[in-house]
Amino acid sequence: MSRVKGHLRVRARDAARAASRRVWRRRRVLVLTGVLLSALVFGPPVAVRAATADGRFDNGGDVPPAPVALVLGAGLTPSGELSPFLAERVATAVDLYRDGRVQALLMSGDHSRVDHDEVAAMAAAAEAAGVPASAIVADHAGFDTYSSCYRARSVWGLDRVIVVSQAFHLPRAVWLCRRLGVDADGVAASDAGHSSTAFYGVLREVLAVDKAVLDVARRRSPRFPGPPEPAFDRLDG
């Protein structure tokens, strides 16, 4: 009887050890999977920020001059006015023009519906601030950052721009332009007074950068990749 009990205790002990080993194996797999997923999700944003650190400026007076400022859309209010972020982008671009850092503004935004024309609103705001209409070009098919940067090269023939957006968005915008054949630096428009929206933008950028990397890797073509337009042929440089 004692032998039987001893044998049962050994079997129970071995079973417990085996169960413990299975638990630890599962935990190791979960940890390794978590590390891998974290690297896949957060690795590209970290790499993109590092790759564009030399080309992002908080002050427009510090950015090297370029022929054109690429102003990226950021939505309209329900009444058709510029969103707060977009108003700051346009104001920053106007300052670049006034200071002689750029010769023209390329307003690139979403005009996918008749009742949603970011580009016209951006151009009107810049004109109201003193930029002549002759120095403003409208890109009505800038449906996303990738499309705006792609079309800056394929449609407008630009090989050098200053990108204007908020600081949280600039790493992706500058990186995309550079990877799509446009030498780009970026100037940060203000996000003061909109910290909650900016925080959401920072979080959104993590997945947006991941998508941008995939778009570049698969060489995605935007909805309207061309044809070329000669609007900037007259500019110097």
* CA 122 – CA 81 distance, rounded (Å): 9
Is the pTM higher than 0.85? The answer reads no
Q: Domain 54-217 is in which class?
A: alpha beta
Mean pLDDT by 10 residues, the chain (237 residues): 58 66 71 60 84 94 96 92 95 97 96 87 97 96 96 96 96 97 97 66 85 94 90 76
Provide the pLDDT for residue 235.
Answer: 77
pLDDT (tens digit per residue) in 156-171: 999 999 999 999 999 9
Provide the pLDDT for residue 15.
Answer: 65
pLDDT (tens digit per residue) in 48-70: 999 999 999 999 989 999 999 99
Q: What percent of the chain stands above pLDDT 90? A: 62
190, 92 contact by CB (below 8 A): yes
Provide the pLDDT for residue 197.
Answer: 63
Buried b (16+ CB within 10 A) or exposed e, 31-52: eeeeeeeeeeeeebbeebbeeb
* CA 108 – CA 201 distance, rounded (Å): 19
